[in-house]
Amino acid sequence: MFVKVTPSAARQVTIYFEGQPLEVDEGITVAAAVLGSSHGWTRTTHGGHKRGPYCHMGVCFECLMTINGVPNQQACLIPVAEGMRVSRQTGVPNFDKESCNHA
């Protein structure tokens, strides 16, 4: 469980997590916003197991989320921004196979 150590003087911004508005401190990461709001998990494996941010420094990839419609975003490295749309990533996301072809 995550709890703020000290009250924040940061400006509040609104992001939309799973379509619901969340008021969060400007400057924190998307992963911190999701954990701090008690929503806990950020993605599921292809087998449906819930996963959540672990390292908070971009190494483990457990925080992958869909942010502003783009899947596979490392939520622990992306700061929140006003109006940002965030959703959990379930299973293996669809991707453009053409973009993976390297001649």
Does residue 68 belong to any structural domain of this protein? yes
Q: What is the mean pLDDT of the segment spanning 50-57?
A: 91
In this structure, is residue 9 part of a structural domain? no
Tell me if 95 is assigned to some domain.
Answer: no
- pLDDT score, position 41: 86
**Residues spanned by the domain of 55:** 14-88
83-97 mean pLDDT: 82
Check residues 36 and 21 and name the one with the higher pLDDT: 21
Q: Is residue 100 part of a domain?
A: no
In a domain, 56, yes or no: yes
- Residues paired with 96 in a beta bridge: none
State residue 46's pLDDT score. Answer: 87
* Sheet order of strands, 64-67 included: 20-25, 12-17, 85-88, 64-67, 70-74
**Does pLDDT of 102 surpass 70?**
no
Number of domains in the chain: 1
pTM: 0.81
Q: CATH no. for residue 58? A: 3.10.20.440
Q: What is the pLDDT of residue 39?
A: 77
Q: Is residue 40 part of a domain?
A: yes
- Which pair of tokens denotes residue 64? 């992958």
**Distance set, CA 62 to CA 11, 26, 65 (Å):** 28, 23, 9
Res. 74: pLDDT tops 80 = yes
- pLDDT band with cut points at 50, 70 and 90 for residue 99: low
The answer to whether residue 84 is domain-embedded is yes
Q: Is residue 39 part of a domain?
A: yes
